[in-house]
Structure 1
Amino acid sequence: MELPNRDSPHLHLVVATQEELLAQQHHNSSEWRDALTLDAYLRREEYLIRQNLTKDGGLTPWMLVYEPPEGGPRQVVCGCESIKKKALHAKEGRVTDVVAHGVASVFCSPAYRGKGYAGRMISEVGKRLKTWQIGQSEHATFSVLYSDIGKTFYAAHGWKPFPSSHIALPPKSTEEQDRASVNLIQDHDVAERCSVDEKLMRQRLAESTSASPRTAVALIPDLATLQWHAAREDFVHHELHPNQSALQSRGAMTDLAQGAQRVWCLWTHVWTQGDAPNILYILRIVAEDEGHSEMVQSIARLLVAAQNEAKAFGMDVVQMWNPSEATVAAARSIMPEVEVVQREKDSITSLRWYGEGSEEDVDWLCNEKYGWC
């Protein structure tokens, strides 16, 4: 079917039917299923939409469709998804709970690329998300996405690129005595870690804005978000390694010296395809006392634990997004040649602002891998 130009009144943004979503997943599977078969990829997507983060309307499948003026079935041109997320907004020391949306799975069939359809869709999605799933008198505060096509396209449609850096460490096995001060985080530990993390995040957002004219926002690393990452990696691990035992750890935690102040990290395993590396991503690093004198050494122990985990499960690299100065110092204490890589194309963290003022006055704090969707 020949389609009209991108400005046609016969192109509409709609919430996809289940049949349209399934068809779109068939189309985009070759690019996003990674190491999974088509059947396994479709089952993974069906499984993930039943998770607490995404079920009951938490995930919305959007499609740009062509509806022929003479009637007949509509034709899907391109699609994406949005996930409703809990977030925090801080201004002048006051922290409030707000709604944000994560945009993901933007896909246009090759036959329709280069014609402006994806731009039309993402522009309309950006506008719709301001009031999507929110009361009539309110609106979302921001939306985020993670661009794998550089910084230009989404910036032209309202999403400002934010710093997108990472550090990487190789997998490594260490002696047993080197692991003694680190405890692995299990599934039953994650809820408490998320609760403590959120309390600390609220405090630090208030502190960071109390004497600053700038606005700060952050996605909340809540239990539903971390369980979504865990469900994704568990499904893929079982499909690829059905005879191996289930994943046992979700991260690592250590006590800081001289007291009960703790530092911990949460991670996820990502298996890819072809020449792309399998990556153990550190989703989040948290310290109860960021100014502690043993901070760098404690983070270093966690990074070593992550290297051990990566080695045990055949990961090619450990990666941490937008690392703090302490995390970079910890990594370099392990491997002095570690560099902070500034990404220019892949996983460009981008934010669209719906709140008061300009996005130029907004700081996106805790911009780590846990927010990816």
Structure 2
Amino acid sequence: MGDSPAIILVHPTEEEKLIQFNLNGAEWRGALSLEAYLRRETVLSQQTLTKDGGITYWILIDTSLPHQLGRPKLPLASCETYRKKALVWQDGKLQEVICHGIGSVFCASHLRRRGYAQRLMTELGKALRTYQTDEKTQSLFSVLYSDIGKKFYKDFGWEPFDSSHVALNAGTSADASSLPAARPLYAEDLEELCEIDVASVRRNLESRPKGSKTAVALLPDIETIRWHHARENFVGMELHRKAPNIKGAIVGTEKGKRVWCYWTRMWYNQNPAEAKGNTMHILRLVIEDGVWGDTAASNVNGNSVDHSHDAAIAALLVVAQREAEEWKMEHVEMWAPTPAALAAAQRLDPSAKVVARDTESIASLQWFPEHDGPVADKIDWIGNEKYGWC
């Protein structure tokens, strides 16, 4: 059972990794065949974000089982972690750290209810405190996105944070003639914009008022965005025999006054002619001359909301809706919408509202430094958008 001292957390051999991928493929392959899913995982492991130790695979094994060299070939539970760059502001000091994002937590159905997943998370939480750290590089937190509600991972230290979104149907019947012009963004446009965005994240954190809560931010760097697009491109080629070229949209031409977003298409329907279940996610929304607004769902109806960017954001969403329709997406979804983003969505669909997620994609964070009690109300998770998902 899961509390056996013979059970340990290890990095799998290539053979063990393949065994586990074949087991978890039914859960994680989405619209892909198992064979295509295996190829996708290989491709995603070779991106700039993931190569050279950027992705790490973990499995739980029972060393008491009588296998050759004491190395069982059947993983009891598994996951992977992604090394990400992050910033932490605390007590007036800004620090660049690494953060590990946890994905694909899995225990095969015939091994469940034995405590293996619980043991996996217990051991992983211990390991990630110091994994890939040294004198110059610290890791102060890790994140995951729960698809099984808020309780399970909370019991092991990953506290649920606000997880909300606003959704719009693909295609649009709204009159966009009064909106500013939005032009598409392509892969070659994104690196410069990501650099501008990352610099802005840093400046905003550095300027936090004295006495503010601790703040953390995963960096929306080009390596992260390209990983999402590599995933999108692979599935697009498998289902539609072509990869999407348009990766986002931008309004404005004057530097310092532009508004833009990146997105990614996620297919779950195995019929490429059907849109049901497929979602276009806005990875990141950037207001170049802005600062982060309050993204809490309870504050989106405040009277002091700055509406100066509503039209620009609405123009971006119109392009997203059109792209979503072309690529067989059911709807467009934007995580952690600011009041301005919600107002923009409501210009296109007056019934649009903030949805607080309580079962799927629950943004959860484990804070490593010693602390007294829960930290979800003591830490601001800045830019808690889809780009951080893994």
Range class of TM-score, shorter chain: over 0.9
Letter in 2 for 1:20: E
* 1:177 Cα deviation after fit: 5.8
- In structure 1, what is the equivalent of residue 303 of structure 2? none
Separation in 1, partners of 2:276, 2:10: 34
- CA distance in 1 between counterparts of 2:311 and 2:123 reads 48
Within a 5 Å distance, the mapping from 1:1-373 to structure 2 comes to: 5-68=1-64, 72=68, 73-74=71-72, 75-135=74-134, 139-173=138-172, 181-207=181-207, 209-242=208-241, 244=242, 246-255=243-252, 261-273=257-269, 277-290=277-290, 294-355=308-369, 357=371, 359=375, 360-373=377-390
Change (3 A) 1:248 1:146: same
Cα distance in 1 for residues equivalent to 2:265 and 2:94: 33
The superposition leaves residues 176-222 of structure 1 with CA deviations (integer Å, 9 ceiling, x where unpaired) of 96787111111111101110000111111223x32334100000011
Task: Tell me the CA shift for residue 139 of structure 1.
Answer: 3.7
Q: Is this contact kept in 1: 2:145–2:363, CA < 8 A?
A: yes
Give the root-mean-square deviation of aligned CA atoms.
2.1
What secondary structure, in the 3-state scheme, does the structure 2 residue paired with 1:8 have? coil
Q: Contact (CA 8 Å) 1:91, 1:210: kept in 2 or not?
A: no
2-side partners of 1:69 and 1:248: how far apart?
50
Whichever residue aligns with residue 315 of structure 1, its letter is M
SS at match of 1:250: strand
Alignment CA distance shift 1:212-1:300 (3 Å): farther
CA offsets 1:70-107 (integer angstroms, 9 cap, x no match)? 56441310100011110001124432211110000100
Residue 235 (structure 1) shift: 0.3
- The offset of 1:53, in angstroms, is 0.6
Structure 1 unaligned runs (5+)?
none
* 1: CA distance, partners of 2:277 / 2:352: 18
Normalising by structure 2, we get a TM-score of: 0.89
Q: Give the match's secondary structure for 2:148.
A: coil
How far is the alpha carbon of 1:261 from its aligned partner?
A: 0.3
Query: d(CA) in 2 for partners of 1:361 and 1:134?
Result: 25
1:136 Cα offset (Å): 5.7
Q: TM-score, normalised by structure 1?
A: 0.93
User: Is contact 2:250–2:260 with CA below 8 Å preserved after alignment?
Assistant: yes
Q: For 2:187 and 2:179, how far apart are their aligned partners in 1?
A: 20
Deviations 1:305-325 (A, max 9, x none): 111111121111000111111
Give the SS at the match of 2:8. strand
Q: Measured at CA, do residues 26 and 339 of structure 1 come closer, stay the same or move farther in structure 2, by a change above 3 Å?
A: same
